Amino acid sequence: MAEESFLTDDFLGQLISVGEVDLMVGVPTYNNAKTIGSIVETIQAGILTFFPRERAVIINADGGSRDGTRQLVNAAIGGAQSSSKLYALRTLRSISTEYASSPARGTALRTILAAAELLRAKACAVISPESTLITTDWLAALLRPVYAETFDLVLPTYRRHRFDGILLTNLLYPMTRAVYGLRIREPYALDFAFSGRLGSQFLAQNAWHEEAARAGSEIQFTLAAIAGEFRICQSFLGTKEHVERHSADLVPALRQTVGALFSSLEPNLSVWSGKTGSQAILTTGAEQEFTLQPLRINRKRLRGMFSTGVAELESVFQSILSSSTLAELQRIAGMDETNFCYSAELWVKTVYEFAAAYHKSVINRDHIIQALAPLFRGRAFTFLMENRNGSAANVEENIEALCLEFERMKPYLLKLWNGSE
Amino acid sequence: MPLKQDEPWYKHAIIYQAHVRTFYDSNGDGIGDFRGLDEKLDYLVDLGINAIWLMPFFPSPLRDDGYDIADYYSVHPSYGILEDFKKFLVSAHEREIRVIIEMVLNHTSDQHPWFQESRSSQDNPRRDWYVWSNTDTRYPLAHINFVDTEMSNWAWDTVSKSYYWHRFFSHQPDLNYDNPAVREEMWSVMKFWLELGVDGFRLDAVPYLVEREGTNCENLPETHAVIKELRRKLDEHFPGKMLLAEANQWPAELRPYFADGNEFHMAFHFPLMPRMFMGVKLEDRKPITDILRQTPEIPASCQWCLFLRNHDELTLEMLTNVERDYMNDSYAQDKAMRLNLGIRRRLAPLLEKDRRRIELMNGMLMSLPGTPSIYYGDEIGMGDNINLGDRNGVRTPMQWSGGWNGGFSAAEPEKLYAPLIQDPVYGYPAVNVLSQKRTQHSLLNWMGRLIAVRKTTGAFGSGSIEFLYPGNQRILAYVRQLGEEKILVVNNLSNAAQAVELDLRRYKGNILIEMFGQNIFPRAGEQPYLLTLGPYQFYWFRLRRI
Amino acid sequence: MWKMIVSELTQAMQELAASFAHLLPRIIVVVIMALVGWVVAYLLKVILGSILRLIQFDKLSENAGASQLLTKAALPSATNLLCRFVFWVAWLGFILLGVQALGIVGLQEQIAKFFLFLPRLFVALLIMFFGLLLATFLSRATLLAAVNANFPSPRLLSVSVRTLIIIFVLSMAFEEVGVAEETVLMAFGIAFGALMLGLAIAFGTGGKELAQQFLEKRFGQGKKDEGKEDELSPL
C-alpha cells in the first residue's frame, strides 16, 4: 500500500530482529546533535533502573538530520551498555530510522506508533530531543501508569517558569478544559506515554493526510484519547527546560497547537458539545509548579505588536470577529500601558469567535490562525502585568479564574457554532 | 570414529555422573551397589557414554551423602567390597568407558580415624593434620558455604577444647595442607586408586585447601601449589590420567587452576550453567554470550566441563543480585525449592517438562565449547522431590521400568535408601528407561542420537568458537571450528518462531548440511542468510565447501 | 405616364414582394432560432445557477473580494451575474446563428468573428476572476505576515501586493481579449519595472537595517537581536 511504505525495508528488518517488546521509548529527532547523546543515555539508565526485566527498545525516528544525530544515538546506546556502571539483565535494543528527508513531527509520531504496533509494545513513551533536564525518574513516571496500571495516556506536568508557556496557560489549557471537560495541563505534550491500545487506534484513524493533522499530531493524539474515552492521567516529571525561542516561532506554534485544536472541534462535535464544566484527572506528583526567577521580557514590544495588529488587520478581523468584540479591541488598543487590560472575558470571546470563524472558514483557515497572533500578544502582556509580582499560588489562581471564564462562556461558543452567519 | 588420536581422551568424553547408591541394587537391600552398576554398563554404552563420574563411595557416616569420608582406602559396605569395585572397573574399561572418581581433598568426616586422633590431644602426631585454633576469630574474611545450616566456619570441639576449621558442614573438618604429611598422605590415597586403574579424579572443593589470614581463603597461591605438586606426580607416574576441578568461581578466578597446563586438566564452568537457564527464560542470548566472552583462553591441553545439572543445587552464586533474583523468581517461586543460594531441582522440572526446551538445553550442552556431563536420570527426564531435605530431592533411585520399585531394587519399597518419585507426571510408571527404549521418539532415544551426532566431529570437543551476533537477540548462533572442519550452530532461545538473518560472508561458498537429517541447505553467500526456527528449535550445520 | 408609374410601382412592389417572399422563410427561421435560443439560454441559466449554488460560488467570490466589488457597483450577486451573462450570450449566439441563415454576406464574417471572440472573452473573465482571488489571498497573507513579523507599514505592503497582482492580471486579460495589446503590455512593463526599481532602491538605501535583519534571520544562525527579543516561550 502506498500509505504504508513510509516504513523503510531497513527499518522493518530491524523491527523484525527486535521482536516483541514490553516497553518502547520513541525519540523523534532533527538536528539535535547537541542534546541527544545525554538524553538517550538517561533514557537507557531509566529503563535499566526501573524496568530491568522488561524487554525494551529505543526507537529514534529522525527527519533527515545532517549533523550526525543518528550516529550519536547509536553511539550513546553502545557506549553506556559496555560501561560497567549499569548492569543489564537482557539486551536493550536501540534502532534508528530516517523517515523522511525533511522533518515532520506527525510522520515521526506515526513511525513510532507503527513500530509500537508491530512490536506489540504494551507501553510506549515519547521523549522530546530537547528535554535536556530529563532524569531517569521520568521513565518511571511516564511508563509505570501505563505498564503497571491500566492507563492509556500519561501526560506530563512540569516545574516551569510562571511565564513560560503563556499560550498553554492562556489558551490551550483553558480551552481544552472548557471544551472537552478534562483538566489537562499539557494537551500539547512532547513527553508523554501511551498504551498499545490507544496507539493502534490512533494509527488506524485516517487523519494522516491532512496537513493540520501532520503538524499538530501531539494535540490530535490527546484529543483522540479524550474522544475515545481512554483512561488519561498526568504525571509530574520535573523541570522543563527553557528553550530559547524567536518571536517568529509564534505563528508556527499557533498553527500546530491552536490550529490543531480548532480543527478537532468539527469532527468531535458530538463529544464536546454536550459537556459542561470540567473534571480533574488523576495526577501523580504535583499538578504544576512554578518557579519565580526573573525573566527578561520585552513588554513594550508585545504591547506594540498588539496595537499594530489591531489597527492593520481591521479588514481581516471584520470577517472573523463580531462587531462588538472588534470595537472593544480597538478601544483597549488605544489605552496606555498602565491602563491596558485585555480582560479574561474579552479574551475568551475573542478565542471563541476565532474558533467559530475557523469552523466556518470565513477566510482561509491559515490566515485566521495568523490573525490570532497579535491578539495573543496583547493577552500575554496583560497576563505578564497581572502576575509580575505575584507568588506561584497567585499565578495558579489567575489561571484557574481564566479557565472558569472559558467554561462559563462555552454556551457562547455553541451559539456561534450553530448560529446563522 | 574420527577422533584425533593425539588428543587427550577427556576432550572427547561424554561424561555420565552417577552415584553408585542411586543406580541399581543387585542384592535387594534397597541400596545401589557396584555389582548393580556393573550390570547396567551396557545401558551407558547404548546411550553413547564413554566416561562415568562416580560420586563418593568411600566408608562414611553419610551425613553429607558420602562427601564426609571416614576411610580413603575402601568401599562403603552398602555398595559392596573393593573387589566389586575392581570388577566394575574392568568391565567399564572393556566397554571403553573411563572411570572418574571423587577425591575429597579438602576435608574428612569427623569420624575419620585421623580426626579422632587429631582431636584426642594437643601432642598427638596427627594434631597438625587439621586446622585448630583457640579462638574462632581467625580468617574472618572467609564466607560460609552452607549458609542454610552453618553459622560459622569454626566449630568447637568438646574433646580437645579448641576450635577446628570447616568450610562445609561442621562434621567435616578441613585438612591442613600446610602440613607436608597431609600432602604426602593424600598423594598416597590417589596413588592407591590410580594403581587400581581409575582414569581420573574430580577434586572436590579445591579452592578451600589452604587458609591465610587477611584473605577470603579461596584460590590462594599456596592452594595452587599443592595441586601443581599432585599434578606433577600424576604426570610422572600415571600419564594419561585426568584431574577435574570443582571450583565454583568466576571465569577469571578459574583460569589459574589451569595454570600453564600443569595444574588441572579440566574444570567445571560454573558461571555458564545458570546463564543458560537464564538465557532461555529471558529469551535473550546476552547472559550466555557475555559470560563466554569473559571466559579467558585456557591452555590447549585443558578443557572446560559443561553441565546442566548435578547432584548439588543449581548454584546461583556466580550471579549478580539482579540475576539471582530473576532466577529465583523464574525457576523457584516456591521458596522450599531454594537452598544455599541455589535451586535444588532437576532438569525436567526446571524446564516444566517441556520436551523442546529440554532438547534445546541439551543441544547447547553438547555444542558449546567443553566436555559435557550428564546427570543420571536427566536423559529420561526424571523428576525431583524437594521434600526429601537438603539436596536429596535430586538423588532419588534411577527409574528403570514401571514395575516393582521402578526396576531399581527387589527390596521392599520401604527399605529403599530414598523413596522413588511417584507422582503421575514424573513418577517411575510415567518416566522410565524401559518405556523410553520402546518408544522410538522418546527423550532417551533422542539423547542417544544427539550424542551420536556430536561424536561425528571433533569440532565440538576441541574446536574454537566464534559467535555470530545477528540482530535478533533471541538467537544464539556460533561457529565451532577445528582445522578445516566448521560447524554452524543456531539456537532459538524463544518460545515463538523466529526469523533470523545471519552474516555468513566469511563462510561464503559453503553448503550447509544439517547434521541430524543430513539434508543440504542453501549455500552461504554475500547476502544475509535467512533462517527460520520453530520454538526452542536448534540447528547444527556442517559447512562444506565442494 | 400614370400607367408607367403604376407599372413601375407594381413591378417594384412585385419585386419587393418576391424578395420578401424569398426572405420570409429565412426571417421565420431567425424568429424560430430566437425563440429556441431563448429557451435554451434560459435552461442553461437555470442549470448553471444550480451548479454555482451547489459549489457555493458566491462564497468563493466573496473570498476573492469580487462580491464586495459587485456590491459597490450596485450589481447583483456573482452567481446571478454570471447566470445572466451566460443567458444573454447564449441567446445572442442563437439569434446570430439565425441571422447567419439570412445569408447577408458581410454579416457572416462579423458573426464568425463574434463567435471566435467569445471563448477568448470567457478566458479573460476567468483570468480576471482567479487573479482577483489570488490578489486578495496574497495581499491578506502579506498583511498577516508583515504584522506578525513586526515589519513597518504592513498595510502598504499588502496593498502594493494586491495592486501589483491586479495590474498583472488585467494586463493578461486585456492581452487575451486582444484589446490594445501592445500598449497595455508596454504600459505594464514600464510600470512594473519602475516599481521594482523604486522598491530596490528604497530597500537598499532606506531599508538597510531591515535588509540586514532579514538576511541574518534567513542565513545567519543563532544570532539574536539582543535589545529587541525577549525570553518568552509560548509553549
Q: Please indicate, yes or no, whether residues B60 and B190 belong to a single structural domain of this protein.
A: yes
C63 CB neighbours in chain A (<8 A) are 363-364
Region of residue B174 (phi > 0: left; psi between -120 and 50: alpha; otherwise: beta):
beta
Averaged pLDDT, B362-378: 96
Q: Please indicate, yes or no, whether residues B232 and B341 belong to a single structural domain of this protein.
A: yes
Interval A92-110: pLDDT, tens: 888 989 887 677 778 888 8
Q: Mean pLDDT of all residues in chain C?
A: 77
What one-character DSSP code corresponds to residue B327?
H
Reported as type and span, the H/E element at residue C57 is: helix C57-64
pLDDT at B171: 93
Point out the residue among A164, A248, A367 whose CB comes nearest to the CB of C233.
Answer: A164
Name the residue in chain A with its Cα closest to that of B275: A89
Q: CA of A57 to nearest chain B CA: how many angstroms apart?
A: 12
Q: Could C145 and A370 be called an inter-chain contact, meaning their C-beta atoms sit closer than 8 Å?
A: yes
Point out the residue among A17, A53, A93 whose CB comes nearest to the CB of B326.
Answer: A53
* Residue A88 confidence class, pLDDT cut points 50, 70, 90: confident
**DSSP output for C184-213:** HHHHHHHHHHHHHHHHHHIIIIITHHHHHH
Interval C41-92: pLDDT, tens: 888 888 888 888 888 777 666 665 666 666 655 666 777 777 888 888 888 8
Q: Does B321 touch chain A (CB under 8 A)?
A: no
The CA distance from A248 to A348, in Å, is 24
Point out the residue among A20, A52, A91 whose CB comes nearest to the CB of B322.
Answer: A52
Q: Could A19 and B474 be called an inter-chain contact, meaning their C-beta atoms sit closer than 8 Å?
A: yes
Averaged pLDDT, B171-199: 94
The CA distance from B441 to B452, in Å, is 15
pLDDT at C19: 78
Beta-bridged to residue B92, according to DSSP, are: none
pLDDT of A389 strictly over 90: no
Beta-bridged to residue B489, according to DSSP, are: B478, B540
Q: Please indicate, yes or no, whether residues B352 and B442 belong to a single structural domain of this protein.
A: yes
Q: Which of B204, B313, B359, B378 is catalytic?
A: B204
CATH number at residue B140: 3.90.400.10
CB pairs A-C closer than 8 Å: 96
Within a domain: residue B427?
yes
Interval B93-140: pLDDT, tens: 999 999 999 999 999 999 999 999 999 988 899 999 999 999 989 999
Q: Could C147 and A164 be called an inter-chain contact, meaning their C-beta atoms sit closer than 8 Å?
A: no
A55 CB neighbours in chain B (<8 A) are 283-284
Q: CA of B260 to nearest chain A CA: how many angstroms apart?
A: 30
The CA distance from A340 to A334, in Å, is 8
Pairing of strands A56-62, A192-195: unpaired
Q: Which of B25, B218, B246, B378 is catalytic?
A: B246
Reported as type and span, the H/E element at residue C81 is: helix C78-102
Quote the distance between the C-alpha of residue A290 and its chain's center: 18
- Domain boundaries along the sequence of chain C: 26-103, 119-218
B471 CB neighbours in chain A (<8 A) are 13-14, 16-18
Q: Could A305 and C147 be called an inter-chain contact, meaning their C-beta atoms sit closer than 8 Å?
A: yes
Return the CATH number of the domain spanning residue range A3-291.
3.90.550.10
Contact B459/B482 with Cβ under 8 angstroms?
Answer: yes
C-alpha cell at B274: 545458570
Q: Does A93 touch chain B (CB under 8 A)?
A: yes
Domain boundary, last residue among B454, B482, B501? B454
Q: Does B328 touch chain A (CB under 8 A)?
A: no
What subunits make at least 3 CB pairs under 8 angstroms with B? A
pLDDT of A129 strictly over 70: yes
pLDDT at C103: 66
Point out the residue among B322, B474, B496 whose CB comes nearest to the CB of A87.
Answer: B322
Q: CA of C222 to nearest chain A CA: how many angstroms apart?
A: 10
pLDDT of A1 strictly over 50: no
Count CB atoms within 10 A of the CB of residue B136: 16
Interval C136-164: pLDDT, tens: 888 888 888 888 887 878 888 888 888 88
**DSSP output for A214-242:** HHTHHHHHHHHHHHTT--EEEEEEEEPPP
A17 CB neighbours in chain B (<8 A) are 470-473, 500-501
Question: If DSSP codes are grouped into helix, strand and coil, which group holds residue A224?
Answer: helix
Within a domain: residue B1?
no
Q: Identify whether B325 is a catalytic site residue.
A: no
Question: If DSSP codes are grouped into helix, strand and coil, which group holds residue A125?
Answer: strand
Q: Could A308 and C224 be called an inter-chain contact, meaning their C-beta atoms sit closer than 8 Å?
A: no
Within a domain: residue B2?
no
Tell me the percentage of chain B whose pLDDT exceeds 70. Answer: 99
Quote the distance between the C-alpha of residue A110 and its chain's center: 15
C-alpha cell at A87: 548492569
C-alpha cell at B139: 580468617
pLDDT at C51: 86
Name the residue with cell 541400596. Answer: B31
Q: Could C147 and A296 be called an inter-chain contact, meaning their C-beta atoms sit closer than 8 Å?
A: no
Contact B406/B420 with Cβ under 8 angstroms?
Answer: yes
pLDDT of B413 strictly over 50: yes
pLDDT of B202 strictly over 80: yes
Q: Does A10 touch chain B (CB under 8 A)?
A: no
pLDDT at B84: 95
Higher pLDDT, B490 or A294: B490
Its sign, for the CA torsion B114, B119, B120, B122, is: positive
Q: Which of A234, A240, A238, A253 is nearest to A177 (CA)?
A: A234
Q: Let me know if domain C119-218 sits in CATH 3.20.20.70.
A: no
Q: Could A165 and C235 be called an inter-chain contact, meaning their C-beta atoms sit closer than 8 Å?
A: yes
Contact A85/A136 with Cβ under 8 angstroms?
Answer: no
Q: Does B474 touch chain A (CB under 8 A)?
A: yes
Positions of CATH 3.90.550.10 in chain A: 3-291
Q: List Cβ neighbours of A75 (8 Å cut-off, separation of 6 or more).
A: A37
Q: CA of C55 to nearest chain A CA: how many angstroms apart?
A: 15
The CA distance from A40 to A155, in Å, is 20
Name the residue in chain B with its Cα closest to that of A82: B290
Q: Which of B495, B504, B508 is nearest to B531 (CA)?
A: B504
Q: Could A89 and B323 be called an inter-chain contact, meaning their C-beta atoms sit closer than 8 Å?
A: yes
Interval B205-260: pLDDT, tens: 899 999 999 999 998 999 999 999 999 999 999 999 999 999 888 888 889 999 99
Q: Could B496 and A17 be called an inter-chain contact, meaning their C-beta atoms sit closer than 8 Å?
A: no
Q: Mean pLDDT of all residues in chain A?
A: 86
First to last CA, chain C: 111
pLDDT at C119: 81
Its sign, for the CA torsion C200, C201, C205, C206, is: negative
Q: State how far the alpha carbon of A90 is from the alpha carbons of A374, B284, C188, in Å.
A: 54, 6, 74
Structural domain total, chain B: 3
Q: Please indicate, yes or no, whether residues B434 and B474 belong to a single structural domain of this protein.
A: no
B323 CB neighbours in chain A (<8 A) are 89
Point out the residue among B473, B496, B499 whose CB comes nearest to the CB of A91.
Answer: B473
* Residue B2 confidence class, pLDDT cut points 50, 70, 90: very low
pLDDT of B400 strictly over 90: yes
Higher pLDDT, B195 or C16: B195
Does B touch C (3+ CB pairs < 8 Å)?
Answer: no
Reported as type and span, the H/E element at residue B531 is: strand B529-533
pLDDT at B3: 36
Q: Does B288 touch chain A (CB under 8 A)?
A: no
Averaged pLDDT, A303-318: 87
Point out the residue among A14, A18, A89 whose CB comes nearest to the CB of B322.
Answer: A89
Name the residue in chain C with its Cα closest to that of A247: C229
Tell me the percentage of chain B whose pLDDT exceeds 90. Answer: 82
pLDDT at A3: 40
CATH number at residue B376: 3.20.20.80
Within a domain: residue B131?
yes
The CA distance from B295 to B267, in Å, is 12
> Minimum mean pLDDT among B459-473, C122-136, C181-195: which range?
C181-195
pLDDT at A198: 92
Averaged pLDDT, B288-308: 94
C-alpha cell at A191: 513527553
**DSSP output for B395-423:** -PPP---SSGGGGS-SS-GGGSSSPPP-S
> Minimum mean pLDDT among A33-42, A380-389, B259-268, C102-111: which range?
C102-111
* Residue A303 confidence class, pLDDT cut points 50, 70, 90: confident
* Residue A82 confidence class, pLDDT cut points 50, 70, 90: low
* Residue C222 confidence class, pLDDT cut points 50, 70, 90: very low
| Greatest extent of chain B over all pairs of C-alpha atoms, in Å | 78
Contact B70/B104 with Cβ under 8 angstroms?
Answer: no
Within a domain: residue B313?
yes
Point out the residue among B284, B323, B470 whose CB comes nearest to the CB of A17.
Answer: B470
Contact A212/A261 with Cβ under 8 angstroms?
Answer: no
Reported as type and span, the H/E element at residue A309 is: helix A299-312
Question: Domain range holding B133?
Answer: 113-165
Q: Please indicate, yes or no, whether residues B341 and B315 belong to a single structural domain of this protein.
A: yes
> Minimum mean pLDDT among A163-167, A207-211, A358-362, C102-106: which range?
A207-211
Q: Mean pLDDT of all residues in chain B?
A: 93
What subunits make at least 3 CB pairs under 8 angstroms with A? B, C
What is the four-CA torsion angle of B249, B255, B257, B263, rounded to 10 degrees? 160
Higher pLDDT, A220 or A352: A352
Reported as type and span, the H/E element at residue B478 is: strand B475-482
Q: Identify whether B204 is a catalytic site residue.
A: yes
Helix ranges (H only) for B197-313 are 221-237, 251-254, 272-282, 286-294
The CA distance from A177 to B456, in Å, is 74
Q: Which of A148, A241, A147 is nearest to A191 (CA)?
A: A241
